[in-house]
Structure 1
């Protein structure tokens, strides 16, 4: 058995004022929320209990990991990657949900400390996680929203890793609705309230900028494929070519065209194996697969004050980096 590596980052409680503020919104948590490492990633206390377990997960050479900040196109990329890696097995993809095909490793660490899990939704988010990942047969498919520096240190040198990033303001809007969909927040929480937490890095997984920049700096590693959500929107067929090459697969143009058709947003919304059973009515924003559009954030930054705050947020986000988000026409 490999020697256990101590978790290399400090874990501290948020301040009393911060904890009081976030508990106005995050329901069902008793212990103080935490910040992890020098970049102060925001988490529930449960992640702190198991950060070292996740850091010490064994990685196999035939693993395929999909890593992202929440609401960045993770589900879309998972379906693409799994099908390319599995010889375009649409029958297998139709049989098992993504929640079974990919182990969402940290999911249990986010659980409410008060609410009991739904009896009917035992596998609603994942069938497997960090506790039983080692029991799964190879090849394993792994999903995580943990930042790369807090994942197993030999991950990139051992396995194939995909990282997908999305425009930060679109992430903010989508993440707001996700917080309501999954009952982290009550229905009545308005976007402006969520934005006030988001820009202060007091929402799950934040800060977004640090999360993405960690991956961007490693984008040239031979085992890393860094993707933009916007690239998938603009030229999905080209992204399929990249993923196919990265995974060492060969498919005909006809096969790739069929995959692109399968992965259109409308088809993904209809696919019961990729969306969540908790989705609201079709006309609602409160759904797992919402709009599939870039630039939708403009609708929600609808005052002069919010526009200025968005501009300042983006200025800070992009300073000291050469990353540029693609513009979707």
Structure 2
């Protein structure tokens, strides 16, 4: 069984290439926080998030990037607002703030702040000031969430969405070329990904940090592949989690609203203001890219060689042995 220690990676070179191809004015470098890689500017907001006041009526949507987050957010928002679609007509990032956004693209005190579309540089404050009950999004692992959540002093609802690790890696690559200024090729990217040198990685540890608490009644786990296979069942599962029920005709309408074609055309979830911001600051490498790209399961086969697939399969088999978690 292969492990990363047996692979011929030049870790010094990987760090140098990461600095060359994944940093800029928007991100000076990277650091490690409780075992997880984040932009170094996370240090500026880590205490704010640790001390963040949490309420039991909060809802936290937690995911590793590119696991169907936006899709799930729109489903959850619709259900929580009793399928009143008029409430959806606002930028997703304004309705459900992404608490650590500012350290990803618009660090405090950066000269990029004046170009902020309105939800980047003040993301912690925006999350704090949302009208209750708040819905807050994060890609942070459980270990970096507010202290009140980690100690179970507060018990907000937590919905975690996860996905096959190989598909996630491929989707994250395209995402970083669209919105995070990654200028390297996929060969560099997958090596940075699997060695835990990109933001929010290691992915397996990130997902497992939540999975360990799956027996808690305030936790719900949703899998991207289940949403692809049978969205209606996942919608009903989520309704049950919120103790809500709707007529079958309304469920049908919601499933249609959440279809891939509908989501791709929805201006409130397509991240156009964010894409324009990234173009203004010169980090949109894929100028023709879309935020909602394919939404497919198994797309990794189109970019990963069989050798790379085997490295991922062996790695995840070894890392998640005995956990019952499937990535």
Determine the C-alpha separation between the residues in 2 that align with 1:16 and 1:172.
Answer: 22
For 2:255 and 2:120, how far apart are their aligned partners in 1? 25
Conserved 8 A contact 1:172-1:198 = yes
Residues 112/86 of structure 1: CA separation in 2 closer, same or farther (3 Å cut): closer
Does structure 1 retain, via aligned residues, the 8 Å contact 2:62–2:138? yes
Aligned residues between the structures = 302
Distance 1:121 1:32, change over 3 A: closer
- Counterpart of 2:317 in structure 1 is 315
Distance in 2 (CA, whole Å) between partners of 1:85 and 1:307 is 38
Is residue 92 from structure 1 mapped to residue 87 from structure 2 by the alignment? Answer: yes
- 1:160 corresponds to: 157
- Contact kept? 1:102, 1:126, Cα under 8 Å: no
Question: Taking structure 1 as reference, are residues 127 and 66 closer, same or farther at Cα in structure 2, changes over 3 Å only?
Answer: farther
Contact 1:177 / 1:285 at 8 angstroms: preserved in 2? no
Q: Which runs of 4+ in 1 moved over 4 A?
A: 15-19, 29-32, 112-116, 118-121, 125-128
Q: Call closer, same or farther: CA 1:312–1:232 in 2, change over 3 Å.
A: same
Secondary structure in 1 aligned to 2:21? coil
Q: Deviations over 1:80-133 (max 9, x none)?
A: 01110001111121x21211110111110123669843866513x659621243
Match for residue 133 of structure 2? 139
Quick check: 1:263 aligned with 2:263? Answer: no
Match of 2:224 in 1: 229
Any idea what SS the aligned residue of 1:67 has?
strand
- How is 1:182-221 mapped onto 2 (pairs within 5 angstroms)? 182-186=179-183, 189-221=184-216
Q: Does 1:53 align with 2:48?
A: yes
Pairwise CA distance, 1:263: 0.3
* Aligned positions of 1:218-297 closer than 5 A: 218-277=213-272, 278=275, 286-297=289-300
Whole-Å Cα distance in 1 between the matches of residues 325 and 304 of structure 2?
23
Structure-2 residue corresponding to 1:5: none
Q: How big is the shift at 1:22? A: 1.7
- Which secondary structure does the structure 2 equivalent of 1:24 belong to? helix
Query: SS state of the match for residue 103, structure 1?
Result: coil
Q: 1 or 2, which has the higher helix percentage?
A: 2
Q: Is 1:73 equivalent to 2:73 in the alignment?
A: no
Give the C-alpha shift of residue 27 in structure 1: 2.2
| Cα shift at 1:206 | 0.3
Distance 2:171 2:251 in 1: 29
CA RMSD of aligned residues (A): 2.6
Q: Which residue of 1 is the match for residue 97 of structure 2? A: 103
Tell me the residue number matched to 1:25. Answer: 21
- The TM-score, its normalising length taken from structure 1, stands at 0.84
Structure 1: runs of 5+ lacking an equivalent: 1-14
Deviates more, 1:73-82 or 1:40-49: 40-49
